[in-house]
C-alpha cells in the first residue's frame, strides 16, 4: 500500500484572464513584394493575409511575453506572486539555455515559480494549456501562466515565394486557475512524425555552425541564408483541412457537446482558406463566431490562438462565459484541440 499522500488540487481548471502583445510595426503585403515575385491579390487569395506585425530589435521574445503576461494577470485579477508555474511555447527563442520562461517569471515579479519552455510549434498553446490544467487539478500550482510567443520574422526567408508572406510576430498569454465546474475540456492531441518533413527548419543550427557552404542554402547575393521555416504548402493544406477537422470533432465529442452548443471557434491562424474549409467541414452553425485574426496578424504559430482570443473578447465579438473550440496544428506534425469557457 502506497504511503504517498494524495494530491489536493482544484476539482477543475479554467482560463481566468487573457492578454496579447502585437509589435508596433505593421507590415503590409507591399513590403513582402519587394523580395518575391507575387502580387497583393495573390497573397490575399491564397492566405487571407493583408498585414502582419514584425518585431523591432527591442521587442524580444521576453519583452513581448512580459507585456502580454501583465495584461493577462491583470485580467485574471490576481497578483503576480500567486503564479505557481510559467509555461512558454516558442520556437524562436534562440538561446538553447536557460529557458526564456525563467527570465519572464522573474521580470513579472512572480517569485520562484516552476518555469520552462516547450517546443510544439503551432500547437504549443494547446499543449501548454493542457499542462496547466494538469498542474492545477494535481495541486502543484494554483495559478499557471501559459504564454505563446514568436518572432517568426527571424525565421522567414524573404526570398521564398511560398512562405515569405505568411509569418508574423507577437505574444499571447493566459492565466489558468482553479474552477468549481468544468471549463477546460479533455484535450485531443497527438503527432504524426512521418510527416515531419512537410514543415521544418531549412538547416539545423549545427550545420550553420559548421559553416560548410556546400551544405547550406544561399541567397540571391550568394551569401549563406539564416535558417528559416519552410513547408510543403499543398500537403500541409490537405492535412489541416481533412485531418484537423476530424480532431476538432473529436474534441467536441470528448467535451460532450455538439457544434450547436458552440459560441466561438478559434483555430490556429495558419491560413484563411484552411479556416474557412474547417468551418465548412465541421458544418458550424452561422451563430458561431469564427476567429480570423490572420488577416491583420499573419501566422504567429504558438501565439496565434491566445492573440485571436484576446482580440475577439476586446472587440466584443466574443464574451466572457462563451463556449469556444480551440485547435492548434503545425510542425511535427503535432496538434491539440479542446473546448474551453472564455474568461
Q: Which residues are catalytic?
A: 122, 268, 299
Looking at 140-225, list the stretches that DSSP marks H as alpha helix, in order from N- to C-terminal side: 205-210
Q: How many residues does the chain have?
A: 343
Which residues pair with residue 268 across a beta bridge? none
Using alpha carbons, select from 246, 172, 189 the residue that is nearest to residue 15: 172
Looking at the chain, list the stretches that DSSP marks H as alpha helix, in order from N- to C-terminal side: 29-32, 40-47, 61-76, 100-107, 124-138, 205-210, 233-238, 244-255, 272-282, 294-297, 304-315
Calculate the CA 319 to chain-centre distance. Answer: 21
Dihedral angle, C-alpha 299, 281, 318, 85, nearest 10 °: -60
Which residues pair with residue 238 across a beta bridge? none
Measured between alpha carbons, how far is 300 from 171 in angstroms, rounded to an integer? 8
3-state secondary structure of 81: helix
Measured between alpha carbons, how far is 98 from 95 in angstroms, rounded to an integer? 7
Work out the end-to-end distance of the chain between its first and last CA atoms, rounded to an integer number of angstroms. 41
Count of alpha carbons within 13 angstroms of residue 133, beta-carbon side = 20
Residue in this structure with the C-alpha cell 469564427, named with its chain if needed? 290
Using alpha carbons, select from 328, 316, 326, 300 the residue that is nearest to residue 68: 300
Measured between alpha carbons, how far is 337 from 189 in angstroms, rounded to an integer? 6
Left (φ > 0), alpha (ψ -120 to 50) or beta: where does 222 sit? left
Amino acid at each position: 500500500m502506497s504511503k504517498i499522500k494524495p494530491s489536493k488540487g482544484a476539482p477543475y481548471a479554467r482560463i481566468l484572464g487573457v492578454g496579447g502583445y502585437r509589435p508596433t510595426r505593421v507590415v503590409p503585403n507591399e513590403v513582402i513584394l519587394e523580395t518575391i515575385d507575387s502580387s497583393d491579390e495573390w497573397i490575399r487569395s491564397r492566405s487571407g493575409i493583408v498585414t502582419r506585425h514584425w518585431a523591432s530589435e527591442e521587442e524580444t521574445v521576453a519583452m513581448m511575453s512580459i507585456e502580454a503576461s501583465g495584461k493577462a494577470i491583470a485580467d485574471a485579477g490576481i497578483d503576480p506572486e500567486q503564479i505557481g508555474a510559467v509555461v512558454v511555447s516558442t520556437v524562436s527563442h534562440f538561446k538553447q539555455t536557460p529557458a526564456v520562461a525563467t527570465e519572464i517569471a522573474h521580470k513579472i515579479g512572480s517569485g520562484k515559480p516552476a518555469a520552462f519552455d516547450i517546443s510544439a510549434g503551432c500547437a504549443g498553446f494547446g499543449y501548454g494549456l493542457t499542462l496547466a490544467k494538469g498542474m492545477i487539478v494535481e495541486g502543484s500550482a494554483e495559478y499557471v501562466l501559459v504564454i505563446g510567443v514568436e518572432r517568426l520574422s527571424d525565421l522567414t526567408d524573404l526570398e521564398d515565394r511560398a512562405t515569405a508572406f505568411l509569418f508574423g510576430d507577437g505574444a499571447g498569454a493566459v492565466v489558468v486557475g482553479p474552477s468549481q465546474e468544468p471549463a477546460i475540456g479533455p484535450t485531443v492531441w497527438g503527432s504524426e512524425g512521418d510527416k515531419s518533413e512537410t514543415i521544418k527548419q531549412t538547416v539545423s543550427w549545427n550545420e550553420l555552425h559548421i559553416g560548410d557552404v556546400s551544405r547550406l542554402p544561399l541567397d540571391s547575393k550568394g551569401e549563406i541564408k539564416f535558417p528559416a521555416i519552410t513547408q510543403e504548402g499543398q500537403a500541409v493544406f490537405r492535412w489541416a483541412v481533412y485531418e484537423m477537422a476530424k480532431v476538432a470533432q473529436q474534441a467536441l465529442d470528448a467535451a460532450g457537446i455538439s457544434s450547436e452548443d458552440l459560441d466561438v471557434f478559434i483555430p490556429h491562424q495558419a491560413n484563411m482558406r484552411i479556416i474557412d474549409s474547417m468551418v465548412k467541414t465541421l458544418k458550424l452553425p452561422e451563430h458561431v463566431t469564427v476567429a480570423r485574426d490572420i488577416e491583420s496578424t499573419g501566422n504567429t504559430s504558438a501565439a496565434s490562438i491566445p492573440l485571436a482570443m484576446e482580440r475577439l473578447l476586446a472587440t466584443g465579438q466574443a464574451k466572457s462565459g462563451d463556449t469556444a473550440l480551440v485547435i492548434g496544428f503545425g510542425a511535427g506534425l503535432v496538434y491539440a484541440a479542446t473546448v474551453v469557457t472564455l474568461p
